[in-house]
Structure 1
Amino acid sequence: MPRATPTALPELVSYLEGLPEPHILFDRRYRIVAANAAYRRQFAPTGSVVGRTCHAVSHGIDVPCDQAGESCPLARARESGQRERVLHLHHTPQGESYVNIELVPLRDAQGEQGWFIEKMEPLALAQTGPGTPGLIGRAPAFQQMLELVARVGPSNASVLLLGESGTGKELVAQAVHAASHRAGAPLVVVDCASLPETLFESEVFGHERGAFTGATQARPGLAESADGGTLFLDEVGDIPLTMQVKLLRLLESGTFRRVGSTELRRTDLRVVSATHRDLKAMVADGRFRQDLYHRLATFPIALPPLRARATDIPLLAEALLARVAPRPGLRLSRAAQTRLQQHRFPGNVRELRNVLERAALLCDGERIEATHIDQALAFDAPGAMPGTGTPDLQARLRAHAGSRAALAREMGISERTLYRRLRALGTPDGA
């Protein structure tokens, strides 16, 4: 049984002890008076938390969360008088992890909020460092987005992901699906940008044998494949107008017809869509149906660009580098991390991955330096020559009178890298 102060209700403490999810009970001064077995196993396996403040245990701080730049569910409950939910970044014996918190205020004999029950559910959708693939970050903009994902995930609401190219919209769609009761069923992706109008209908709704030239057998569409799961419409702004009305019928009624068939079929699916386009402007211009927009945008989530979460770049870079490095053990120097954080990354996380892969190929040692990052970024500079990573290597060759070793030092690269570039240019001494 958890220990509690004499004023805590024994029946309540006993009830919390039997709950499978981690729960704590604390008073209006933030002091924990009881912690159930699930909480102790997960968050305090080596010591007692009773008598300590919730913010000291969860965050390692001496003041309540709202005084340290975070959202405090107790402060919100005092204001609203009802239960509150927040997403917090908790300190645990295994390191930092995201936790969904639901706080319920309880009134004492005088009708005042005297006790607070807090339920904690670790959020497996995201992490604060490299590890298993998924959403990575801890910047405020990232946490705000993640809290919306955690809220809408368990529902059946249609979700519209809005953000620039390369911000990770498909990863967020996977997180929404994983947080739902449909997680055991398929997440089916429709790449709307790659489907011409002539193929869109048959790919999404399927077709019968003989429906068109080349249809030698019946084929179910992606909407059928997503039955029980989630249909992810990537780049939904590229759906042809003529197909938008048929998609709307599917979303509103769950019914559709295969191409070449009069039979009405049903499918049970949830829709998550994504776009980098301004759908509201497209609606105003008549390029996107207003009724379809409102059906898709039940719960819109804006994905922050990488420049709005620059503090996450070292975390993302370490995780991406582990995937793209040509050899294990390659690391980024502190100066390289700083150089990455200084870049605006108009291509967002996708561009970051490209830059890291280039830098890894340009590096001959075990540590990527800022010079390697500069060289990798130079590939995208105006006038850059493909394969050289510099605006004009031949011009530097003509202007340099010294040895190749001196030129390599001047450029901040190894001689081996210089000779690779010379071979790419077809120069005689690059052989």
Structure 2
Amino acid sequence: MTDQGIAQLAAYLEEVAEPSIILDDDYRILAANVAYRRDFAGSQDVTGRRCYEVSHRIDRPCDQAGEACPLRQTAQSGHPQRALHLHHTPRGEEHVDVETRPLARGPGKSKAGQPRLFVESMRVVRHASSQPAVQGLVGRSPAFQAMLARITRAAPAEATVLLLGETGTGKELAARAVHEGSPRATGPFVAVDCSGLTETLFESELFGYEKGAFTGATHLKAGLVEAAAGGTLFLDEIGELPPAQQAKLLRLLESGTYRRVGGVEWLPADFRLVSATHRDLAAMVRAGDFRRDLYYRVNTFPIHMPALAERREDIPLLAASLLARIDAANSGRIGHHRLSAGALRTLQARDYEGNIRELRNLVERATLLADGTEILPEHLDESTTTAPAAPGNETEFRIAAPIRLDELESRYLQWALDASAGNRSELAAQLGISARTLYRLLRKR
């Protein structure tokens, strides 16, 4: 192509706001806009180089190195294609959503005997990291990439999302990523733990209540549906809802309206729904334990959350991230720890029934057992984390305290609940715990 033709391509590309390049069908970069040079090229001149050399630092196309190649797929289909890649950038390796489309018109339109041209646009995925991070989703394994690719596709839409996976796989973080990648990102993100909601509490918490609706309702209270207006409502463990609550939720989703408890006015709901469960909802539908119509309402776009066993290569990255988060939360008490090579091997060799939550517990416990800043394999040995009771201690405790601790806790919670006239939200605030924690404690009684 002539210098004049390349100049025309570059001028055409500057009209594209996103970081973009023009490629031929031999993967060669013919032009790059200012946004691409700023966000991806740094000081290097990419013109004339092949895209995989710049983005992946490899010597062959990415579809020959374990990743999907949107350029090759576009060349074969003639239609735009998207793929989630790990790209090298001036900031390090980052998750990038790549979209390639044929250049159908404008300068550089292909003619007979000339190379076909393509426009490739890139968007860095800001709500996930391939490096240790103090917040958000972290990972780089194929299983993590597949999950993140679905989140990236679902986030910009209004479709309801259902997160499916074992307990402790990070479903709330994934729900936040869906929210943060959506047009509703500036709105609220409201999380509800369905496993801790009784039928009465379900209605009053979700829909709110009017003053005088029941004993103790001394003022109007807005519900969580109202609190989520303009944002995202996250229903965690939706599979725990009993049939009566399922019916109320279905009515809300179908009508887009609700009434506060004790109210007569129908109010409009404005939220994007994301749900999560560790249960097999399809099996529950077949067994009659979950409404079929509600299942199809919440299951528009399912996303599988991989267990830690499916992404074992992410364990060192996750452990480093969790350690940074724990140290940051305890900066006034604990210094900055690091995991020894032996500790990392120990963590990778384990099986995790509790997934990332169990990994976090192990790492946090190790920071308490380590006298210095280095975490060693012995700090991760669960057999040393609970000291055996001294002889006689158990007998002395039984004599001094004939009432079990869980019974004392149950009595105290009941007394506090009665004193607060049954207002669980206010009680949680008085106890200095989250409403979700209080619901779990009450459910254990």
Per-residue CA distance 1:96-126 (angstroms, 9 max, x = gap) = 0111111012361229870011001111010
CA pair 132-112 structure 1, distance change in 2 beyond 3 A: farther
CA distance in 2, matches of 1:304, 1:73: 24
Alignment partners' CA distance in 2, 1:5 and 1:180: 42
Task: Name the residue aligned to 2:325.
Answer: 323
Residue number in structure 1 paired with 2:383: 378
Q: Is the 8 A contact 2:135 2:325 kept in 1?
A: no
Stretches of 4+ moved more than 3 A in 1? 4-12, 392-395
Q: Tell me how far apart the structure 2 counterparts of residues 112 and 51 of structure 1 sit (CA, whole Å).
A: 17
Q: Which moved more, 1:7-16 or 1:237-246?
A: 7-16
- For residues 335 and 370 of structure 2, what CA distance do their matches in structure 1 show? 13
Task: Report how many aligned residue pairs link the two structures.
Answer: 381
Equivalent position SS for 2:211: coil
Shift of 1:189: 0.9
Q: Does the alignment pair 1:333 with 2:340? A: yes
Tell me: CA distance 1:48–1:203, structure 2 relative to 1, closer, same or farther (3 Å): same
**Residue type of the partner of 2:267?**
R
**2:383 maps to amino acid:** A
Matched, 1:351 2:368: no
1:284 counterpart (277, 283, 286): 286
CA distance in 2 between partners of 1:114 and 1:275 (Å): 46
* Aligned residue identity for 1:287: D
Amino acid aligned to 2:337: L
After superposition, give the CA deviation of every residue in 1:245-283 in whole Å (9 maximum; x if it has no partner).
221121122111111122111021110000111111111
| Correspondence 1:254 to 2:267 | no
Partners of 1:114 and 1:130 lie apart in 2 by 40
Amino acid at match of 1:20: A
In the alignment, which residue of structure 2 is the partner of 1:62?
Answer: 59
Name the residue aligned to 1:342: 349
Normalising by structure 1, we get a TM-score of 0.85
Q: Does structure 2 conserve the Cα–Cα contact (< 8 Å) formed by 1:228 and 1:267?
A: no
Runs of 5+ in structure 1 lacking a partner? Answer: 380-385, 396-431
1:230 is matched with 232
Contact 2:316 2:344 in 1 (8 A): yes
Corresponding position of 1:403: none
The amino acid across from 1:211 in the alignment is: A
Question: 2:89 matched to which residue of 1?
Answer: 92
Code of the aligned partner of 1:72: C
Amino acid at match of 1:378: S
Deviation digits for residues 285-320 of structure 1 (CA, Å, limit 9, x no counterpart): 211111001100000001000111111111111111
Q: Identity rate of aligned residues, in percent?
A: 54
Q: Distance in 2 between matches of 1:224 and 1:218?
A: 12
SS of structure 1 residue aligned to 2:283: helix
Matching residue's letter, 1:17: E
Deviation at 1:155, TM superposition (A): 0.3
Whether 1:117 and 2:114 are equivalent positions in the alignment is no
SS at structure 2 position matched to 1:89: strand
Compute the TM-score of the two structures, normalised by the length of structure 2: 0.82
**SS of match in other structure, 2:156:** coil
Contact 2:134 2:324 in 1 (8 A): no
Residue 49 of structure 1 deviates from its aligned partner by 0.3
1:42-57 to 2 correspondence within 5 Å? 42-57=39-54
User: Would the aligned equivalents of 2:133 and 2:324 in 1 still touch at CA under 8 Å?
Assistant: no
User: Deviation of residue 174 (structure 1)?
Assistant: 0.3
Task: Tell me which moved more, 349-358 or 360-369.
Answer: 360-369
Q: Structure 2 vs 1, CA of residues 355 and 262 (structure 1 numbering), >3 Å: closer, same or farther?
A: same
